Amino acid sequence: MPRVRATRRVHFSAAHRLFRPDWPEERNQEVFGSCANPNWHGHNYELEVTVEGEVDPETGYVMDLKRLRAALESRVVEDVDHRNLNLEVEWLAGVNPTTENLVVAIWDRIVTHLPDGVRLARVVLHETPRNSVEYTGGDRS
């Protein structure tokens, strides 16, 4: 059977700021600019998650995208929607919430929760309509 990639898109709205607590405020401002605002700012995030696998000859699915959506809702969106990404998300504790760091953390939330034979292929997180980051796994140390 052919291998294909199926993508589901979900969204959430959250507050964050970019900063390192071990840096003085001026250094945070210098490196992260207005993104370091101590009073926070926020975004409507769009998250696209792509899984890859053989088309199941019985169902014609790689996997039921309703199940993928349910995993994304329960393991990602419920934790981050209408939340503060610096303060309120257990699996982001200690993480500076750049889009790069978020996309890798979201990958780790999903990768072990897929059916047998289905692999996580790509996670894309759009912070704004003009900025996004994509992670396809691998190259970790």
Comparing CA positions, the residue from 18, 23, 38, 33 lying closest to residue 96 is 18
Residues 67-96, mask of contacts with a copy of itself (x by CB under 8 A): --------------xxxx--xx------xx
- Residue by residue, DSSP assigns 44-63 as EEEEEEEEEEEPPTTTS-SS
Q: How many binding residues for a copy of itself (CB under 8 A)?
A: 68
Nearer to a copy of itself, 113 or 128 (CB): 128
- Binding a copy of itself by CB under 8 A: which of 21, 24, 94, 138? 138
Residue 13 amino acid letter: S
Is position 42 an interface residue for a copy of itself (rule: CB under 8 A)? yes
Whether 30 is a known active-site residue: answer no
Separation of alpha carbons 60 and 51, rounded Å: 15
Q: For residue 62, count CB atoms less than 10 angstroms from its CB and return exposed for 0-12, middle for 13-18, buried for 19 or more.
A: buried
Whether 43 is a known active-site residue: answer no
Which residues sit at the interface with a copy of itself, rule CB under 8 A?
A: 1-11, 13-16, 18, 20, 31-35, 37, 39-44, 50, 54-55, 58-62, 64-66, 81-84, 87-88, 95-101, 103-104, 128-136, 138-141
